[in-house]
Structure 1
Amino acid sequence: MRRAVLATTGISALIVTLLALKPHQLPTVAGGAARTPSDAASPSTSAGSATRTGTFAGDPIDTQYGTVQVAVTLAKGKITAIKVLRAPDQNGRDQQIASYALPRLTQEALGAQSAHIDAVSGASYTSQGYIQSLQSALDQAHA
C-alpha cells in the first residue's frame, strides 16, 4: 500500500513539473555581419505591391559552427527559390550536417512561403542561422 501511495505521489509530482516547464526554445546565435551593397541583387518593384520582385541576399549569420547565408528569389510576392550562399563546412561533420539539413530547410521554407519553419533535429545552430538569414532577405524584399 505504501509503495502505491509513493508511486502515485511521485508520478503526480513529475506530471506537474513537466506541465510547468516552458516550451523548448531554439538556441540563439550571434548576429550577422553588416550588409554590403552586393547583398541585394537585382531588386525591382512589382506594380501595386509592397513586396519587391528579385533576388535578395540575407545577412550572413555567424553560428557556433560557421556562417550561414541564404539568398531568396521572389516573384509576385512568392518565394520561388532559395540558394544557400554560405554554410558551415570547417570539417566533415559540419559538411554532413549541412548536406542533410539545408535541403530540408529550403524545402520547408518554400512550402511555408516564409521563414517561420521548424529547425532540423541535430542541426539546431545551422537551422537558426538559416532562418535568421532567410528572414533578413525577406525583410529586404518588403522594405
Structure 2
Amino acid sequence: MHALRKNRPLRRIVLASAATVSGMVLLLSLKPHESPGITVSASSPAPSSSASASPGGSGGSSGSSGSNGSSGSSGSSSTGTKTATGDTVQTRWGPVQVRITVKGGKLTEVTAVTYPTENPRDQEINSYAIPQLRREALAAQSADIDTVSGATYTSEGYRQSLQSALDSVGV
C-alpha cells in the first residue's frame, strides 16, 4: 500500500507539515538582495568619494566627504561667488553628496561629489542620471527637480544634498 492512502490520514498530515516547515526554513534562510548594498555602502564612503571626485572635474578645492556648509570666496554676499558642499545623504545604494557654486545669487554650477559607483549597474545608472539631475538643478535654480526614472534613490539623495547646500549659502 502507498504511504499516502486515505486509510492513514495522520501520516499525510505529518508529511505535509514537515514539507511546509522545510520549505519555510529554506525560504527564510535566503539572504535579501539589499544586505550586500547596505554592508558595502556603510564601509565605502571614502573610496566612493575619491572615485567620484575625479569625474566632477573640479580640482582640489573639496573638503572631506562629510563636510557641509559654505566657503565663500568673494567679499560681497549679494554679488560674490560662494561654494557649498551639501550633506552626505545615505541612500539604499550608497552615499550621495553635491557641491554647488552660487554667483550673484544665481546657481552657476552643481557637481556630484559622491554617488554610488560600486558596481557596473550603479555606474550605468549614474552615467545618465547625474548629468540630467545637474541640468535640471541649474534650470530650476532650486532643489525642486524631477526624479530621474530608474535612479529614484540617487535622485532623492541628490535633491536632499542639493537643498542642504542651498540652505547653507542662503539661496
Per the normalisation by structure 1, the TM-score is 0.67
1:25 corresponds in structure 2 to none
Q: What is the correspondence of 1:1-143 to structure 2 with a 5 Å cutoff?
A: 38-40=67-69, 42-43=71-72, 47=76, 49=78, 53-142=81-170
Structure 1: which 5+ runs fail to align? 1-34
Aligned-residue offset at 1:43: 1.4
Name the CA distance, whole Å, in 2 between partners of 1:87 and 1:48: 30
Cα–Cα, structure 1 residues 38 and 129, in superposed 2: closer, same or farther, change >3 Å?
A: closer
Structure 2 alignment gaps of length 5 or more: 1-63
In the TM superposition, residue 53 of structure 1 has moved relative to its aligned partner by 3.4
Q: Aligned partners of 1:52 and 1:66: how far apart in 2?
A: 33
Classify 1:108/1:46 alpha carbon distance in 2 versus 1 (closer, same or farther; 3 Å).
farther
Provide the secondary structure at the position in 2 that maps to 1:118. Answer: coil
CA–CA distance in 2 between the matches of 1:105 and 1:130? 8
Residue of structure 2 equivalent to 1:24: none
* Matches of 2:67 and 2:127, distance apart in 1: 26
Relative contact order higher in (CA < 8 Å, ≥ 6 apart): 1
More strand by share: 1
2:70, 2:165 within 8 Å by CA — same for their partners in 1? no
Deviations 1:87-138 (A, max 9, x none): 1011100111111100000001000100000000010000000000000000
TM-score, with structure 2 as normaliser: 0.57
Aligned length: 108
Question: Deviation of residue 39 (structure 1)?
Answer: 3.0
Higher-Rg structure is 2
Aligned-partner Cα distance in 1 for 2:72–2:99: 12
**Cα-to-partner distance string for 1:26-48 (whole Å, 9 max, x where unaligned):** xxxxxxxxx98953353157647
Residues 58, 71 of structure 1: 8 Å contact kept: yes
- Residue pair 2:65, 2:88 contacting (<8 A) in 1 also: no
